[in-house]
């Protein structure tokens, strides 16, 4: 098996939806990220082994999304590409999939990535209207066409907006997380404290120049716009609950991710190929794991990473404490805290296949350059953002081991281990 090298990542600044990137498509954002990698690593005219990209909020015309992004770059058009969609874990999943192919010796180079925007949202119409328009197109006579046209009602013309709810429960991710934090006894104060730290870490990382070679200017935007270096615990505490209108909820706009537009991409290679190209290796992808929970029958929607991490640790003969860096996706501060508390619970860890609790982690090693609450969460872009950020942290440390964990809609989780 070949070693899978993380060479480097590029992303556009993440911004609040319906603002700076209004009417900018997923394809335009992600193509810009690919072109940034092409420029930095002199890939113009080069054929890569594979490109895997994804987006959640896709148009029906984006069936060939990844390939169209590649064709918009200076890469050799003989570079193949395909789409992946695993909700918020999409671009971590693309990274793992491509890493397996590099490890197997099938390919030497690859780009993973993802993009999402709410500002160019793919509106749909009711299925009844689609059926009627399909029948109208197939009509052969004027009478048939007239009959189909007169069957269309005003209610058929009402647009259907995509909604981030679970089809099986009709509940939003935030509502599911409110149930989780109640089950695990996570307080509002704990959630706000984690959110505050996320903003402070991200702001400090920008001050130190950490993001200078990861984030490039796009559409006049030079840096992430959601990070608040002026927030305070008092400001966070003053925000109203976002998902529980009884006033007893604990999730707010301050300790949850907000709708975000953005894209990110990551260059990977075999260790041998990286050496041939004189590409410095930031870190190595060691392993990955996916899991799912039965949230329909009572398990917490965003708890699947607890299972994935437990299986991945056992396979690699590691303990939860055997890491120098922890990057846990902050869909909500409460979701991160639920996972940490679950790993400390002996009874819960028995479900994970462990005879004892996985234990606690050193919080000073968690999301040290900021997490999704501060940086933002363009669904399919988050995985590649986290991998690139983590690989650079390991490079700057001069070595170490990192755990990456991402929860997703549908009650799934994607996790990975990086080393240097």
Which of the residues 88, 176, 329, 338 is marked catalytic?
Answer: 88
Confirm if 366 and 386 have CB atoms less than 8 A apart.
no
Q: What is the per-residue DSSP string for 83-99?
A: E--BTBTHHHHHHHHHH
d(CA 74, CA 43): 8
Distance CA 247, CA 242 (A): 9
Whether 377 is catalytic is: yes
407 is catalytic: yes
Task: Decide the pairing of beta strands 401-408 and 159-160.
Answer: unpaired
Q: Which of the residues 33, 69, 338, 407 is marked catalytic?
A: 407
Ramachandran category for residue 359: left, alpha or beta (phi over 0 → left; psi -120 to 50 → alpha): left
Neighbouring C-alpha atoms within 13 Å toward the C-beta of 77: 3
- Per the residue annotation, which of 176, 199, 329, 377 is the catalytic one? 377
Beta bridge partners of 157: none
Beta bridge partners of 319: none
Neighbour count for residue 193 (Cβ, 10 Å): 16
Given a contact cutoff of 8 angstroms between Cβ atoms, the answer to whether 302 and 186 are in contact is no
Q: How many helices (H) and strands (E) does the chain have?
A: 14, 12
Contacts of 53 by beta carbon, 8 Å cutoff, 6+ apart: 30, 65, 66, 69, 81, 83, 84, 91, 94, 111, 112, 113, 114, 115, 265
349 is catalytic: no
Active-site residue numbers? 88, 377, 407
């Amino acid at each position: 098996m070949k070693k899978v090298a993380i060479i480097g990542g590029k992303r556009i600044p993440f911004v609040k939806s319906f603002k700076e990137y209004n009417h900018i498509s997923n394809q335009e954002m992600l193509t810009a990220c690919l072109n940034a990698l092409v420029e930095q690593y002199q890939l113009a005219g080069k054929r890569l082994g594979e490109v895997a990209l994804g987006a959640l909020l896709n148009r029906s015309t984006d069936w060939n999304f990844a390939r169209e992004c590649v064709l918009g770059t200076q890469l050799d058009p003989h570079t193949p590409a395909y789409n992946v969609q695993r909700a918020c874990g999409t671009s971590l999943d693309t990274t793992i999939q491509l890493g397996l192919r590099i490890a197997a010796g099938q390919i030497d180079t690859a780009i993973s990535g993802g993009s999402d925007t709410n500002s160019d949202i793919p509106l749909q119409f009711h299925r009844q209207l689609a059926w009627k328009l399909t029948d109208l197109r197939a009509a052969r006579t004027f009478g048939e066409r007239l009959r189909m046209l007169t069957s269309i009602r005003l209610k058929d013309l009402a647009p259907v907006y995509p909604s981030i709810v679970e089809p099986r429960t009709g509940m939003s991710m935030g509502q599911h997380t409110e149930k989780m934090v109640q089950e695990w006894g996570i307080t509002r104060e704990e959630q706000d404290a984690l959110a505050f730290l996320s903003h402070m870490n991200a702001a400090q990382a920008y001050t130190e120049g950490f993001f200078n070679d990861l984030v490039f200017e796009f559409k006049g935007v030079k840096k992430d716009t959601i990070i608040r270096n002026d927030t305070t615990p008092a400001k966070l505490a003053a925000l109203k609950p976002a998902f529980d209108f009884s006033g007893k909820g604990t999730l707010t706009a301050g300790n949850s991710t907000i709708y975000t537009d953005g894209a990110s991409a990551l260059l990977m290679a075999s260790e041998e190929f990286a050496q041939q190209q004189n590409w410095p290796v930031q870190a190595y992808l060691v392993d990955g794991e996916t899991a799912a929970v039965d949230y329909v029958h009572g398990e917490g929607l965003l708890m699947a990473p607890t299972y994935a991490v437990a299986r991945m640790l056992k396979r690699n003969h590691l303990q939860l404490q055997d890491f120098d860096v922890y990057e846990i996706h902050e869909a909500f501060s409460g979701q991160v805290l639920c996972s940490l508390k679950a790993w400390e619970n002996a009874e819960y860890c028995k479900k994970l296949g462990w005879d004892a609790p996985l234990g606690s982690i050193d919080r000073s090693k968690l999301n040290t350059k900021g997490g999704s609450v501060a940086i933002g969460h363009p669904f399919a872009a988050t995985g590649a953002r986290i991998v690139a950020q983590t690989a650079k942290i390991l490079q700057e440390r001069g070595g170490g081991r990192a755990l990456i964990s991402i929860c997703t809609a549908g009650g799934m989780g994607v996790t990975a281990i990086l080393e240097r």
